[in-house]
């Protein structure tokens, strides 16, 4: 009878036909093996010995018989006088060994084969029955804790702490609810489990991983750049990678811009052929339309440079680097600028364009599309999972039909393996489809490219680990060293890694994440 308040057991008494590993389990038509106590459709050898004018009802499946006793089930099944190991007094199952005052052996088939012996029975004969004793891990004993909890619940005051004798008179009239004690025990067990998990995690991270030494980054996409300009170059590359389609940029246009800036020193190409100015005018035109500025931008005169000065003045950004009078002189002042200043101006225009309605709509559209793709991937994964479930039910029906054709007779080892191979072959396609859908769902669940890229890890010492979409070289990890801040602008450095350092980087990331988990678990245990 179920105890009041206790949840009913989820275990079903008749789970039907199911395939687990290499065995077909059938709660209705299967036969139970005396050794492993599993009710399967495996071929079994039935004992022919007579006990009190009745035939012995013990069966041994072919796997247990060959592994534990070195006997072939199909061969002994043909014998009219075959006696099972129990009737012969050599059974080494856990029940029979306990009856003889011996401990269970546990799994010894692999050890027997490794020792060159044919079976577990032979191993026990050679090394001795007393030399093998499988012991389960002891459960947490709460007897003392329970007694303390009971006393704390019973004690109305702090009499015990003051030296009370603890006799029955001191607790007379107090009702003790067993349910309360059970609750307290459950709390103690919960805390103990959390403490064990924390201790296990501490053991895992006792070896402190180190981030490998990076190399100063002076080349991106085959373009040699100054080390201090790596951050600005990546900023431009990330922008073009995320919004290149919306701006109808050509493939490799960002690389062309950077190559013109740093490979040739000061750009000597005419304005109408300069990719930097063309990209800047395209973005300035987008900004001017959004702000309803009546500007006529031309690549052949100084109009675009003047418009750039007006937008820069409105934003009050970079005023210390580019004073207002810079843009009144004309485009000749731009031609005097070095590559670093030109790149800063271009990145400024890129950032300003993000506030336009066109770009905001683009970000919203990409976010919606990304969310729809993620939902579609999840839907496909759920559909594939349901398909696999239905196929399993169908296969279980096929197994039942095969059994019915033999009028409930046991399947031979060959028939069992044939049905099992058929099940595996038919289930493989559905399983692969489900795993592919799951992998697609896990792989596509990401933030859309239009959203700001977040670092993988930020350290207290000013190190920031990145994985940027625009950086394709292996390993695609980048380390930003912000160093010490001087005023408003940090003197940052960007570092790359060698391909052989990738495992060390991944181990470091894993180590840091486990460390965070440990801190969280410690907080839970303390609470």
Cβ contacts of residue 309 below 8 Å, gap of 6+?
322, 324, 326, 327, 328
**pLDDT score for 10:** 60
Range scoring the smallest mean pLDDT among 55-64, 128-137, 305-314:
128-137
Asked if residue 98 has pLDDT above 90, the reply is yes
Task: Please give the mean pLDDT across all residues of the chain.
Answer: 77
- Asked if residues 391 and 427 have their Cβ atoms less than 8 Å apart, the reply is yes
Q: How far apart are CA 510 and CA 500, in angstroms?
A: 17
pLDDT tens string 127-169: 998 888 877 666 544 444 444 444 444 444 444 344 444 444 4
The residue ranges of every structural domain in the chain are 17-127, 219-355, 369-440, 457-525
Sorting pLDDT into bands at 50, 70 and 90, what band is 399?
low
Asked if residue 486 has pLDDT above 50, the reply is no
Asked if residue 295 has pLDDT above 80, the reply is no
In this prediction, residues 515-519 reach a mean pLDDT of: 84
Of the chain, the percentage scoring pLDDT greater than 70 comes to: 70
pLDDT tens string 380-394: 878 877 877 777 677
pLDDT tens string 17-30: 777 767 788 887 78
Asked if residue 476 has pLDDT above 70, the reply is yes
pTM: 0.54
Sheet of 17-20: strand order equals 17-20, 23-26, 39-40, 31-32
- Asked if residues 259 and 366 have their Cβ atoms less than 8 Å apart, the reply is no
**pLDDT score for 210:** 84
In this prediction, residues 304-327 reach a mean pLDDT of: 85
**pLDDT score for 328:** 84
In this prediction, residues 433-443 reach a mean pLDDT of: 59
Asked if residue 346 has pLDDT above 80, the reply is yes
Cβ-count burial of 65 within 10 angstroms (0-12 exposed, 13-18 middle, 19+ buried)? Answer: buried
- Asked if residues 446 and 370 have their Cβ atoms less than 8 Å apart, the reply is yes
In this prediction, residues 348-367 reach a mean pLDDT of: 90
Asked if residue 453 has pLDDT above 90, the reply is no
Position with higher pLDDT, 432 vs 366: 366
Q: Where are the strands (E) in 404-516, listed by range?
A: 457-458, 463-466, 478-481, 485-486, 489-490, 493-496
**pLDDT score for 443:** 46
**pLDDT score for 206:** 52
**pLDDT score for 85:** 95
pLDDT tens string 224-265: 999 889 999 999 999 998 898 889 898 889 999 999 988 765
Q: Residue 475: is the preceding peptide bond cis (ω within 30°)? A: yes
Q: How far apart are CA 191 and CA 524, in angstroms?
A: 9
- Asked if residues 247 and 282 have their Cβ atoms less than 8 Å apart, the reply is yes
**pLDDT score for 335:** 86
**pLDDT score for 169:** 43
**pLDDT score for 418:** 77
- When mean pLDDT is compared over 42-56, 271-285, 298-312, the highest value belongs to 42-56
Range scoring the smallest mean pLDDT among 10-14, 292-296, 432-436, 493-497:
10-14
pLDDT tens string 499-511: 999 999 999 988 8
The Cα angle at residue 93 between residues 91 and 99, in degrees rounded to 5: 80
**pLDDT score for 297:** 80
At residue 6, what are phi and psi to the nearest 5 degrees?
-85, 140
């Amino acid at each position: 009878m179920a105890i009041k308040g206790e949840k009913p057991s989820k275990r079903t008494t008749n789970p039907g036909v199911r395939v687990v590993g290499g065995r077909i389990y059938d709660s209705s038509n299967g036969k139970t093996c005396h050794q492993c106590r599993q009710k399967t459709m495996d071929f079994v050898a039935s004992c022919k010995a007579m006990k009190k004018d009745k035939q012995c009802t013990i069966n041994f499946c072919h796997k247990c018989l060959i592994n534990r006793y070195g006997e072939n089930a199909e061969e002994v099944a043909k014998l009219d006088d075959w006696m099972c190991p129990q009737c012969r007094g050599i059974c080494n199952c856990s029940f029979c060994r306990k009856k003889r005052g011996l401990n269970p052996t546990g799994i010894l088939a692999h050890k027997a084969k490794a020792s060159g012996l044919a079976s577990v029975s032979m191993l026990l004969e050679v090394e001795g029955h007393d030399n093998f004793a499988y012991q389960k891990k002891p459960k947490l004993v709460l007897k003392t804790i329970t007694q303390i909890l009971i006393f704390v619940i019973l004690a109305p005051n702090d009499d015990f702490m003051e030296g009370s004798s603890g006799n029955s008179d001191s607790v007379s009239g107090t009702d003790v609810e067993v349910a309360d004690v059970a609750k307290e025990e459950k709390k103690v067990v919960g805390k103990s489990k959390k403490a064990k998990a924390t201790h296990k995690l501490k053991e895992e991270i006792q070896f402190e991983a180190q981030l490998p030494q990076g190399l100063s980054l002076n080349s991106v996409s085959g373009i040699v750049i100054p080390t201090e300009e790596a951050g600005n170059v990546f900023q431009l590359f990330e922008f073009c990678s995320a919004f290149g389609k919306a701006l109808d940029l050509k493939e490799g246009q960002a690389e062309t811009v950077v190559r013109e800036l740093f490979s040739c020193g000061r750009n000597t190409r005419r304005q109408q052929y300069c990719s930097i100015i063309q990209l800047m005018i395209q973005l300035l035109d987008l900004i001017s339309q959004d702000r309803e500025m009546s500007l006529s931008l031309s690549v052949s005169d100084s109009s675009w440079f003047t418009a750039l000065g007006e937008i820069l003045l409105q934003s009050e950004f970079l005023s210390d680097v580019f004073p207002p009078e810079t843009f009144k002189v004309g485009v000749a002042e731009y031609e005097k600028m070095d590559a670093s200043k030109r790149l800063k101006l271009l990145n400024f225009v890129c950032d300003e364009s993000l506030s336009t309605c066109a770009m905001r709509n683009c970000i919203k559209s990409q976010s919606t599309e990304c969310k729809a793709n993620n939902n579609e991937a999840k839907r496909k994964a759920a559909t594939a999972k349901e398909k696999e479930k239905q196929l399993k039910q169908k296969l279980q029906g096929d197994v039942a039909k095969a059994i019915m054709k033999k009028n409930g007779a046991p399947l031979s080892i060959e028939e069992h393996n044939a049905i099992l191979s058929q099940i595996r072959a038919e289930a493989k396609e559905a399983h692969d489809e489900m795993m592919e859908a799951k992998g697609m769902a896990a792989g596509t669940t990401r933030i859309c490219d239009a959203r700001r890229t977040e670092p993988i890890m930020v350290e207290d010492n000013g190190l920031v680990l990145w994985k940027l979409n625009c950086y394709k070289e292996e390993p695609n990890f980048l380390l930003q060293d912000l160093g010490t801040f001087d005023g408003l602008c940090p003197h940052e450095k960007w570092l790359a890694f060698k391909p052989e350092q990738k495992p060390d980087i991944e181990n470091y990331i894993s180590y840091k994440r486990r460390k965070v988990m440990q801190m969280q678990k410690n907080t839970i245990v303390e609470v």
